[in-house]
Amino acid sequence: MAEKIALITGITGQDGSYLTELLLQKGYAVHGIVRRTSNLLRSRIEHLRRDAKIYGKTLFLHYGDLSDTTTLRRIFREVGPSELYHLAGQSHVGLSFEIPESTCDEAGMATLRLLEIVRDQSPSVKFYHASTSEIFGNASESPQTEETAMRPTSPYGCAKAFATQLARVYRQSYGMFVCNGILYNHESPRRGENFVTRKVARAAARISRGLDVDLVLGNLESKRDWGRAQDYVVAIWLMLQHGKPDDYVVATGEAHSVRDFVEAAFKVVDLPWKKYVKRDPAFDRPIEPTRLVGCADKIRKTLAWKPNGSFEQLVREMVEAEVETIEKLKS
Ligand code: NAP
Ligand code: GDD
């Protein structure tokens, strides 16, 4: 069998790092696009970059930015991927209200750039687009399926809706192998620190060890369908292994509030959360999506994928990872 070559945009992100580990285990050569930053350290994939058996042998990094079409085109030509996983972009919904233009360029236009590169250079390449439950926004039905209308409520959601529909258009118009993974929130110890689950897990651990005194949050009543990132990258990979390109909702089907997450996190470290959690409307968004819960029946039936573990296990895993990091730093 010919060597499988994956090209990943957003390799340094939460999902990119887990997907890289999965693909390396499966024998792929993995190429990732990284932005030039002032710091050479890329924390989530540093363990792979420092492994001489992996880096430069089966894992390769290339400098590029989503705004730089010439470089993207060159990297694509040089790498010659069989699978392209497009995960990169500004992914914080709240921030997309503050920096809408760059968010829309990265989440929307950059997807168009990559679709055009693939169409020009190698239309048979399998293309994964990281879509999101945010496209449903003020959802017209609950739970949502692949057929639910797109009604985004944030600049980020609008840009992802644009890119999701474009991906469909390229699949239908040019017969390209393009899949939209419509993923609901998925979390892990590698989640960015300004997303609510990591912020809560980190604060619970730090307060329990006397390193912080409180936790300041926005809307505690918001609900999300939270799964595990490690499971969701398996779903991403499975989509590109199927005979036919398609769109899939990836979700647990269960909604929990931010308050539920906070309660469960402080329970792990045996602290009364109400004593430590403060509310600050500065963290509120101008508008929130409503009733976001996914129906993952299609991916269960077609690709035999299902989420693992409970909500409580996810919270425990994240808080324990934070406690472990603190203990390691101490010793
Ligand atoms: P993440 O942790 O925020 O990672 C984003 C990645 O994009 C990072 O590698 C980042 O690089 C890179 N990036 C951002 N702007 C870039 C640019 N202009 N040029 C090149 N690279 C750029 O996101 P994630 O949680 O892994 O999510 C992956 C994708 O899935 C995103 O598109 C997100 O919108 C989507 N999604 C996520 C979820 C979720 O719950 N996690 C759910 C649905 C959809 P740096 O390391 O340099 O910042
Ligand atoms: N970030 C953050 N910080 N969110 C807070 C806070 C806070 O201090 N307090 C309350 N929240 C609420 C937000 O208002 C939102 O309702 C909920 O917690 C979840 O916020 P995030 O963790 O930032 O995630 P998100 O749902 O907005 O977006 C994530 O999931 C999407 C999939 O539905 C991101 O990963 C997106 O990229 C992804 O598409």
Whole-number pLDDT of residue 3: 84
Whole-angstrom Cα distance, residue 258 to residue 185? 12
Question: Is 103 touching ligand 2 by the criterion CB < 6 Å?
Answer: no
The amino acid at 254: E
pLDDT of 331: 83
Residue 41: the pLDDT is 87
Length of the chain: 331
Q: Do 178 and 215 fall within a single domain?
A: no
Q: Which of 14, 93, 131, 183 to mutate to test the pocket of ligand 2 (most atoms within 8 A of CB)?
A: 93
CB-ligand 1 contact for 16 (6 Å cutoff):
yes
Q: Which residue from 79, 93, 89 is spatially nearest to 133, judged by alpha carbons?
A: 93
Q: Residues 169, 267: one domain?
A: no
Q: Output the pTM of the full model.
A: 0.98
Centre of ligand 2 to C-alpha 24, Å, is: 30
**CA-CA distance, 23 to 59, in Å (whole number)?**
10
Ligand 2, atom 29, lies closest to the CA of 185
Can you list the residues of the chain whose pLDDT is less than 50? 1
Q: Domain range for residue 304?
A: 196-224+255-330
HEC profile of 232-281 = HHHHHHHHHHCCCCCEEEECCCCCEEHHHHHHHHHHHCCCCHHHCEEECH
Tell me the per-residue pLDDT of 79-102, one tens digit each, with 9 for 90 and over: 999 999 999 999 999 999 999 999
Residue nearest to atom 15 of ligand 2 (CA): 222
- Give the tokens for residue 176: 């390209």
**Side-chain half-sphere CA neighbours of 282 within 13 A:** 3
Element of type H or E holding 63? strand 59-63
pLDDT at 330: 87
The ligand that comes nearest to the alpha carbon of residue 181 is: 1
Annotation marks residue 302 as catalytic: no
98 plus 212 within the same structural domain: no
Tell whether 165 and 292 lie within a shared domain. Answer: no
Q: To test the ligand 1 pocket, which listed residue (11, 15, 101, 197) has its Cβ within 8 A of the most ligand atoms?
A: 15
Residues 81 and 208 in one domain: no
User: Is 130 in a helix, a strand, or coil?
Assistant: strand
State in Å: Cα 50 to ligand 2 middle: 32
Residues 232 and 216 in one domain: no
58 is catalytic: no
Residue 156 and residue 264 share a domain: no
Domain match, 260 and 168 both: no
Predicted confidence at residue 181, as pLDDT, reads 99
The answer to whether residues 213 and 245 belong to one domain is no
Q: Which ligand is nearest to the CA of 89?
A: 1
- Output the domain CATH number for residue 261: 3.90.25.10
What token pair was written down for 71? Answer: 């470089």
pLDDT in tens, 7-39: 999 999 999 999 999 999 999 999 999 999 998
Q: Are residues 232 and 274 in the same domain?
A: no
In angstroms, what is the span from residue 145 Cα to ligand 2's centroid?
21
What pLDDT is attached to residue 2? 55
Q: How many domains does one find in the chain?
A: 2
> Rounded CA gap, 264 and 208, in Å?
14
* Catalytic, out of 18, 28, 128, 156: 156
Ligand 2 pocket check: which of 86, 131, 185, 232 to mutate, most ligand atoms within 8 Å of Cβ? 185
Q: Does residue 285 have its Cβ closer than 6 Å to ligand 2?
A: yes
CATH number of the domain within which 121 lies: 3.40.50.720
Residues 246 and 304 in one domain: no
Q: Tell me the DSSP string of 198-234.
A: HHHHHHHHHHHTTS-S-EEES-SS-EE--EEHHHHHH
Is residue 217 domain-shared with residue 321, that is, in the same domain? Answer: yes
Cβ of 195 closer than 6 Å to ligand 2, yes or no, is yes
Termini Cα distance of the chain: 47
**How many A from CA of 208 to the centre of ligand 1?**
30
Q: Going by CA atoms, what residue is nearest to atom 7 of ligand 1?
A: 88
Measure the CA–CA gap between 17 and 52, rounded to whole angstroms: 17
